[in-house]
A and B are shown apart, each in its own frame.
Chain A
Amino acid sequence: MTWFAKAAAVFVAVLAVVGAVAWVNFVDRYVAASDARMQIPGNVGYHDVTIPAITSPDQNVTVGVLFELRNPSGIAIDIMHISYRLYMDNLTDTRPFAEKSASIFVVPGGFFPPGIGYVVGPHTTALVWGNATVFGATQPTQLERLNVTFGGHYYPIIDASLVYRVHDTSIVERVLGIEFPTPQGGIVPYGS
């Protein structure tokens, strides 16, 4: 066998080893990222919503929304942000939500982590607070809309969206329409 045939054999072998290592790395990440993209939309929801009692017209009210994000996939994800729109349902207004939404909208809120985002590891669950604040002194209309209770309970409607990135990739996904299922009987004001 000539020297260049031997050199060609070594080159092909090295190319195959590099290709195999890169390919295994790729398939592992590609499958895990695809799994994450499929499963995340069904694994994000609400853990708790806290709304304090409103006692004065110039009160600053911070509404807390605790989001729960389960990551059942084998790859970490970065929460880039969770944003939501907070509405306070008026049960006496029987129009469909689409028609009355403008009149019951209170404020936007969300969870906006700095930097690359909030990392949720593989097979773990994250609980993150997304706050919204109503400044009574400067937002009297919003405070009035927030302070709508029936039987002393709030009936909030929250429509959230999540933007996340599969960790260490440039795959960014958005989960829209994460709706808060208002519990039967509403929410008891926090601190009342």
Chain B
Amino acid sequence: MDREIVRRGLIEAVFVVLAGFSMGALVVVANFADYGLWLSLDVGGTIIFVALAAGIAIGLRLQDAEPQFLVLAGFVASSIAIVIVVLSVYAPVFAGVVPSLEALGPSDSARAVIIFASLFLIPIHLVGCVAGYALADFLAPEGFRRGRAPERL
């Protein structure tokens, strides 16, 4: 395999991981506003904006890739985000300060809602990826566009 392709693939993979991490981190921060964090975000707005914006950025980055890689990248990034959300919700358990989250009170349903809401990242992020991919095609100089030029009638 061409070394340049591998290098490019690894660079894009890093950006996919960064996009996934930032989506997960910001969604979980928005969900736990009670903790008086330095960043106060609206949950719904964060899910929509961050997933779309990160998706568009990934779509713009992957302008040369085949569409199936774009979809794969979208799934990987949103899966990383969901894993970050789940790990963050259970952070006190992993840190060993509580035996289980039930010890903190009867808010099982609230935690389930946070994890469930994070699932919305998948479709929104994929829409963003596709939009970014299309935008890249629109913005690209003439010679760099994918597909064939429109035929003149």
Contact = CB atoms under 8 A, between A and B. Distances in A.
Interface of A: 2, 4-5, 7-9, 11-13, 15-16, 18-20, 22-23, 25-27, 29-31, 33-35, 37-38, 166, 168-171
Interface stretch (B95-103, B109-117, B119-127): B95-103
B39 A8 contact: no
Given A5-B61, A34-B104, A16 B21 contact: yes
Nearest to A14: B22
Residue with the greatest number of chain A CB neighbours at <10 A, chosen from B39, B57, B63: B57
A52 B63 CA distance: 83
Contacts of A15: 18-19, 22, 26, 50, 53-54, 57
Contact of A33 (B35, B88, B135): B35
Contacts of B97: 31, 34-35, 38
B47 interface: no
Contacts of B35: 26, 29-30, 33, 166, 169, 171
A26 B58 contact: no
Contacts of B24: 19
A38 B92 CA distance: 11
Contacts of A30: 32, 35, 88, 91-92
Given A2-B144, A8-B61, A12-B58, A18 B36 contact: no
A170 to B, nearest CB: 5
A30 B15 CA distance: 28
Interface in B15-44: 15, 18-19, 21-26, 28-29, 32, 34-39
A29 B36 contact: yes
A8 B28 contact: no
A22 B57 CA distance: 21
Given A9-B61, A30-B35, A170-B34, A19 B139 contact: no
B50 A4 contact: no
A21 to B, nearest CB: 8
28 contacts: A5-B136, A9-B57, A9-B61, A12-B15, A12-B22, A15-B22, A15-B26, A15-B53, A15-B54, A16-B21, A16-B22, A19-B23, A20-B22, A22-B25, A22-B26, A23-B26, A23-B28, A23-B84, A27-B91, A29-B37, A31-B91, A35-B97, A37-B104, A38-B97, A38-B103, A166-B35, A169-B34, A171-B35
